């Protein structure tokens, strides 16, 4: 298979001096110690593939699609090669040639394309018993939309409900009547431009049809996908709203947790969007909490492996396990995150570990008194 690589992409590839610094924090290299599972190796494989030197065997495709696009290699590359762009481009070419993504990933993207979400069970908020408590909190004439994201609304509706109740203390907003369509972030990461554009434009039309000018979301993937790819509205992460409420002394505190807490930075609001201060300002200002940092925090945060979970469960397990273990080693009683994917991965692994995994919205909901106990989702 021979492919003419565009000039801008070739320039990026030629910037690489093969120094290998991109291996330093790469999570898939961390657990394989195999050169073909880091950026340098992946780029060399893709070049050999596109020049026809090697064939697109399953083993080659495994290398290309096991990258979680976590962007941490962007941080350690001294030549500032745009590794994320290169890796995504390779996937686009493979998808256009019908060679990618992997079979399991294709099945999941087909489910997303057919149903509008990865769970094949869109919820009608208006008729769902779990959401009847929040239907009164929406303002249909608001130009601000609260976008729960398909994972939170389908998988963790109790947390989604809590997010709505919390946000309603500080903002007026509308919600879509049906469960939120997938933002298509996963489809984009897998390098399927046509499918991504179709879903994106459908969503943009939907938002426009209800007069949306601002979107607030608590989902990191939705946030980075909207911010980097959509147009026609401003995107805000709910943590920014809660941070401002704490700064302005508008955050009413009715409960208190006396505990040692650490925070995991999700890739899509961390390295993708630089939202590092808001969660820390929130956690450091909640009375009773002793906040401690993971060694791998902020820009150096290790991806939980959520994006590659299917079909690379083993990588996901090792990536999430390493962060959990680090949190335990530094003495944290709670590992807090702000992403439904990270929450799912850590809590799946944490069964039997001496630590609690919670979403930051659970903590905020407990402090304000919206819920009387946390975690909302038991680990066993
Ligand atoms: S994006 Fe992350 S997983 Fe992919 S090569 Fe870079 S560091 Fe490794
Ligand atoms: S760190 Fe950058 S320059 Fe060095 S091998 Fe990796 S991609 Fe190439």
Report pLDDT digits (tens) over 53-112: 999 999 999 999 999 999 999 999 999 999 899 999 999 999 999 999 999 999 999 999
Long-range own/partner contacts, residues 123-129 (CB < 8 A, 24 or more apart): 123/153, 123/154, 123/157, 123/178, 123/179, 124/177, 124/178, 124/179, 125/153, 125/175, 125/176, 125/177, 125/178, 125/179, 126/177, 128/157
d(CA 326, CA 334): 12
Which listed CATH number (3.40.50, 2.40.160, 3.40.1350, 2.40.128) goes with 106-241?
Answer: 3.40.50
Ligand nearest to the CA of 81: 2
d(CA 29, CA 338): 25
Q: What is the pLDDT of residue 294?
A: 98
With a cut of 50, which residues of the chain have pLDDT below it?
Answer: none
Look at ligand 1, atom 2, and give the residue with the nearest C-alpha. 70
Count the Cβ atoms, other than its own, within 10 Å of residue 165: 16
Q: What is the pLDDT of residue 117?
A: 84
Q: What is the pLDDT of residue 379?
A: 63
Task: Judge contact between 279 and 338, C-beta under 8 A.
Answer: yes
- pLDDT tens digits for range 84-100: 999 999 999 999 999 99
Ligand 2 pocket test: pick from 67, 81, 86, 90 the residue with the most ligand atoms within 8 Å of its Cβ: 81
Q: What is the pLDDT of residue 115?
A: 85
For ligand 1, the distance from its centroid to the CA atom of residue 81, given in whole angstroms, is 13
Atom of ligand 1 nearest to the CA of 26: 7
> Where are the CATH 3.40.50.11810 domain residues in the chain?
243-368
The topology under which CATH files domain 243-368 is Rossmann fold (3.40.50)
Using CA atoms, how far residue 99 sits from 25, 69, 191, 336, in Å, is 29, 19, 12, 38
The topology under which CATH files domain 7-100 is Fumarate Reductase Iron-sulfur Protein; Chain B, domain 2 (1.10.1060)
Full-model pTM: 0.96
d(CA 246, CA 27): 34
For ligand 1, the distance from its centroid to the CA atom of residue 39, given in whole angstroms, is 6
Query: Which secondary structure element, helix H or strand E, spans residue 283, and what is its range?
Result: helix 277-284
Look at ligand 1, atom 1, and give the residue with the nearest C-alpha. 69
Percent of the chain with pLDDT over 70: 97
Task: Judge if the upstream peptide bond of residue 246 is cis by omega within 30 degrees of 0.
Answer: no
Q: Is the CB of 217 under 6 A from ligand 2?
A: no
Angle subtended by helix axes 360-368 and 277-284, to nearest 10: 30
Using CA atoms, how far residue 348 sits from 161, 296, 298, 344, 357, in Å, is 21, 20, 23, 6, 10
- pLDDT tens digits for range 271-319: 999 999 999 999 999 999 999 999 999 999 999 999 999 999 999 999 9
Which residue is listed with tokens 């590839």? 13
Q: Is the CB of 308 under 6 A from ligand 1?
A: no
């Amino acid at each position: 298979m021979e492919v003419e690589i565009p000039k801008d992409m070739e320039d990026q590839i030629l910037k690489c001096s093969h120094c290998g610094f991109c291996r330093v924090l790469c999570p898939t290299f961390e657990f394989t110690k195999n050169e073909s599972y880091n950026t340098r190796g992946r780029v060399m494989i893709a070049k050999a593939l596109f020049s026809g030197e090697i064939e697109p065997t399953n083993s080659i495709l495994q290398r290309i699609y096991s990258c979680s696009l976590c962007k941490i290699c962007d941080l350690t590359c001294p030549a500032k090669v745009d590794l994320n762009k290169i890796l995504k481009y390779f996937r686009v070419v493979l998808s256009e040639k019908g060679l990618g993504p992997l079979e399991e990933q294709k099945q999941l993207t087909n489910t997303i394309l057919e149903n509008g979400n990865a769970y094949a069970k869109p919820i009608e908020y208006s008729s769902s018993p779990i959401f009847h408590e929040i239907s009164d909190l929406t303002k249909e004439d608001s130009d601000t939309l609260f976008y729960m994201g398909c994972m939170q609304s389908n998988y963790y509706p109790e947390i989604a409900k809590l997010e709505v109740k919390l946000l309603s203390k500080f903002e007026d907003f509308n919600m879509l009547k049906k469960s939120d369509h997938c933002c298509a972030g996963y489809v984009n990461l897998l390098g399927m431009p046509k499918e991504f554009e179709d879903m994106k434009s459908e969503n943009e039309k939907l938002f426009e049809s209800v007069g949306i000018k601002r979107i607030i979301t608590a989902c990191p993937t939705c946030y980075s996908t909207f911010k980097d790819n959509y147009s026609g509205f401003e995107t805000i992460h709910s943590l920014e709203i809660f941070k401002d409420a704490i700064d302005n002394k508008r955050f009413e505190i009715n409960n208190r947790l006396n505990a040692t807490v650490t925070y995991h930075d999700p890739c899509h609001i961390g390295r993708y969007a630089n939202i590092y201060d808001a969660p820390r300002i929130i956690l450091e200002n909640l009375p009773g909490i002793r906040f401690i940092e993971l060694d791998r925090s902020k820009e150096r945060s290790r991806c939980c492996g959520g994006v590659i979970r299917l079909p690379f469960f083993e990588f996901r397990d090792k990536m999430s396990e390493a962060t959990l273990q680090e949190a335990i080693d530094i003495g944290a009683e709670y590992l807090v995150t702000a992403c439904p994917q990270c929450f799912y991965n850590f809590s799946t692994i944490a069964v039997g570990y001496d630590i609690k995994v919670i979403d930051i919205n659970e903590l905020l909901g407990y402090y304000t008194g919206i819920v009387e106990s946390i975690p909302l989702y038991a680990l066993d």
